[in-house]
Amino acid sequence: MATTYQLVVIGTGTAAMVAATRVRTAGWRVAVVDFRPFGGTCALRGCDLKKMLVGGATAVDHARRMRGKGVAGEFHIDWPALIAFTRGFTDPIPEKHEERYREKGIDTYHGRARFTGRHTLTVDDGHILEAEHIVIATGAEAAKLGIPGEEHLITNEEFLSLETLPHRIVLVGGGYIAAEFSHIAARAGAKVTILQHGERLLKHFDPDLVDWLMEKFRALGIDMRTRTTVEAIERTETGYRVRATSEGRDVDVDADCIVHAAGRAPALETLELDAAGVAVERGRLKLNEYLQSVSNPAVYAAGDAAQMGPPLTPVSSHDAKVVAANLLEGNRHKPDYSGVPSVAFTIPPISAVGISEAQARRQGIKFRVKSEQASGWFTARQAAEPTYGFKVLIDEASDRVLGAHLVGPHADETINIFALAIRHGLTTAQLKTTMFAYPTAASDLGYML
């Protein structure tokens, strides 16, 4: 016999928590279902853990840069201790999340959910759920590469839980995961190789700033191989061998560990969406501007499962608020992805918000550019960090910031000020009259405009 709800949310990450609690607060009967520990990717298997590893690597890196400048001694990363430190944060999360749902009167189910009709789900623990509305908030998973030996790859989630760090690490792909994990692993003493199909790493960031950052990769001894396509992975007596081609040449790289860093896709495969008449195109849900399925109006999606905006945790929360509002008020709200900042937590970090220089030119916008390698500025010198620079695009007509691109100390924080300016239409004149605490990275902002 089915248990009836007004809303069932599949998933328990950021999007699920926001959507479920907002709708429950309005008096609806709500349930959530997840086959994994409650809490979602970011809190349990992704960004929070990554940032904690980056924190350890950053501390060691800073101390090494300051050696001979008032700091003495040898510093290294104790990998098992660092992993144990992260688990002190993550281990309590599932129980706390489940308790939050219970406190709010939201029913919880453990198991894989699959559609059996337009309004019905079966959970593999035997429960049958019937709902007026269903929100898919299942997040994303490593994209299928379709190569022989793919099963030997470990995911970003598995890397973040390694008890010991392998000596030879190969990362397949050249985006956020490859850039961030390579910086962590290399500073922890691993020999790291990146195999990237494209012409450069971090294609979502400004190419000039990426070039500046590449000096850090080279200084760390990271072997970066672009225009390289992985063809197969084989098991060997001593580990693994990656077989690839690079500009017509065969390339073999031996490894103890191979990390999938070639992108993530919405986690939809086990949902049996056909049973609900939920349309999918090229691995993505077909949604309208309200984050609602175009083929089954009972179904909405949010976050990485929807993949309408950038695959970032704040976007998941934003999507969930939009979906909750549309469920409660009817389809009146659309997501707004303007001014969403993005950061790759390399050391130092690289960040961006708004449009790129290439996009501005394609759109025919009249704009001016302020760009500089600023390694001589106080922010860089006081940290003994030679990589520091920026590129800011300003609309000639309105004097508003179109895009900001930063690399260097505190770029992950300063970019938020530019995000605020873009989202709320602040002019450079307004930004320049703002008094920031000095000396901080934010106090450099006036010189970037």
Question: From the CA atom positions of the chain, what is the Rg in Å?
Answer: 23
- With tokens 């060691």, the residue in question is 60
pLDDT higher than 90, residue 402: yes
* pLDDT band for position 20 (cuts 50, 70, 90): very high
Tokens of 274: 């056909």
SS3 124: coil
Q: What is the pLDDT of residue 107?
A: 97
Mean model confidence pLDDT for the chain: 96
Domain 150-262 of CATH type 3.50.50.60: yes
Q: Which of 46, 38, 47, 45 is nearest to 11 (CA)?
A: 38
Average the pLDDT over 128-133 and give the result: 97
- Cα separation, 198 vs 211, in Å, equals 15
pLDDT higher than 90, residue 125: no
Q: Is 210 exposed, middle or buried (0-12, 13-18, 19+ CB in 10 A)?
A: buried
Q: What is the pLDDT of residue 129?
A: 97
Average the pLDDT over 3-32 and give the result: 97
Instruction: Judge if 150-262 and 348-448 fold alike in CATH terms.
Output: no
Q: What is the pLDDT of residue 278?
A: 98
> How would you classify the pairing of strands 107-110 and 191-195?
unpaired
Determine which of 1-10, 21-30, 39-48, 173-182 has the lowest per-residue pLDDT on average.
Answer: 39-48
Q: What is the pLDDT of residue 222?
A: 98
Which one-letter amino acid corresponds to residue 108? T
* pLDDT band for position 126 (cuts 50, 70, 90): confident
* pLDDT band for position 311 (cuts 50, 70, 90): confident
Q: What is the pLDDT of residue 198?
A: 94
Domain extents in the chain: 3-142+265-329, 150-262, 348-448
Q: Please provide the DSSP assignment of 368-383 as one string.
A: EEEEEE-TTSHHHHTT
- The count of other CB atoms within 10 Å of the CB of residue 69 is 9
Per cent of the chain over pLDDT 70 is 100
Q: What is the pLDDT of residue 63?
A: 93
Q: What is the pLDDT of residue 1?
A: 82
Q: What is the pLDDT of residue 43?
A: 84
Q: What is the pLDDT of residue 149?
A: 96
What's 136-174 look like in SS3?
ECCCEEECCCCCCCHHHCECHHHHCCCCCCCCEEEEECC
pTM of the model: 0.94
Average the pLDDT over 280-289 and give the result: 96
Q: Which of 190, 133, 144 is nearest to 10 (CA)?
A: 133
Q: What is the pLDDT of residue 163?
A: 93
- Which CATH number applies to 3-142+265-329? 3.50.50.60
Average the pLDDT over 150-156 and give the result: 96
- The count of other CB atoms within 10 Å of the CB of residue 332 is 10
- Which CATH number applies to 348-448? 3.30.390.30
**In this predicted model, what pLDDT tens digit does every residue of 81-91 receive, in sequence order?**
999 999 999 99
**In this predicted model, what pLDDT tens digit does every residue of 188-225 receive, in sequence order?**
999 999 999 999 999 999 999 999 999 999 999 999 99
* pLDDT band for position 117 (cuts 50, 70, 90): very high
Average the pLDDT over 166-183 and give the result: 97
Average the pLDDT over 95-112 and give the result: 96
Q: What is the pLDDT of residue 45?
A: 87
SS3 352: strand
* pLDDT band for position 228 (cuts 50, 70, 90): very high
Average the pLDDT over 378-387 and give the result: 96
pLDDT higher than 90, residue 22: yes
Q: What is the pLDDT of residue 281?
A: 94
